[in-house]
């Protein structure tokens, strides 16, 4: 049972536009959510996180939105840059477990 789902395996966006990556979860016990970015042949690196008591967290070009009633999480990147091209993983945690989605490959083209 996939508790954290990223239903879009890939996304292509033009440079300067907004990239929106989505993530759905099923477990209402999750209380903290994270986004990771992964370049080829590297491990994922932490990008941004949000606590379940908030509905928005912003850090520069990156904003994460949380809709608890819909059990939906999204990452907005604006403006998108070619260097943002990578695979993005969302993850959710409660107690001591960290569960990842399967990732979405973002390609930002000029």
Residues 46 to 75 in contact with other proteins, rule: CB under 8 A? 46, 49
Which member of 19, 92, 103, 108 binds other proteins (CB under 8 A)? 103
Tell me how far the alpha carbon of residue 13 is from its chain's centroid. Answer: 16
* 47: enclosing H helix or E strand: strand 45-51
Q: Which residues are registered as beta bridge partners of 12?
A: 107
Segment lying near other proteins (by CB under 8 A), choices 12-20, 38-46, 56-64, 74-82: 38-46
Distance CA 85, CA 109 (A): 8
Token representation of residue 93: 């945690």
- How many residues belong to the site for other proteins (CB under 8 A)? 24
How far, in Å, are 7, 23, 95 from residue 75 at the CA level? 14, 8, 23
In the bound state with other proteins, the residue whose beta carbon lies nearer, of 13 and 48, is 48
Among 53, 69, 83, 95, binds other proteins (CB under 8 A): 95
Binding site for other proteins (CB under 8 A): 32, 34, 36, 38, 40-46, 49, 87, 89, 91, 93, 95-98, 100, 102-103, 105
């Amino acid at each position: 049972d996939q508790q954290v789902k990223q239903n879009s395996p890939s996304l292509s966006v033009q440079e300067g536009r907004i990239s929106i990556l989505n993530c759905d979860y099923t477990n209402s016990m999750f209380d903290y959510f994270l986004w990771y970015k992964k370049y080829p042949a590297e491990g994922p690196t932490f990008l941004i996180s949000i606590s379940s008591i908030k509905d928005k967290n912003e850090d520069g070009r990156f904003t994460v939105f949380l809709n608890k009633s819909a059990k939906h999480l999204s990452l907005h990147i604006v403006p998108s840059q070619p260097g943002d091209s990578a695979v993005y993983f969302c993850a959710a945690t409660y107690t001591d477990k960290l569960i990842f989605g399967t990732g979405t490959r973002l390609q930002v083209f000029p």
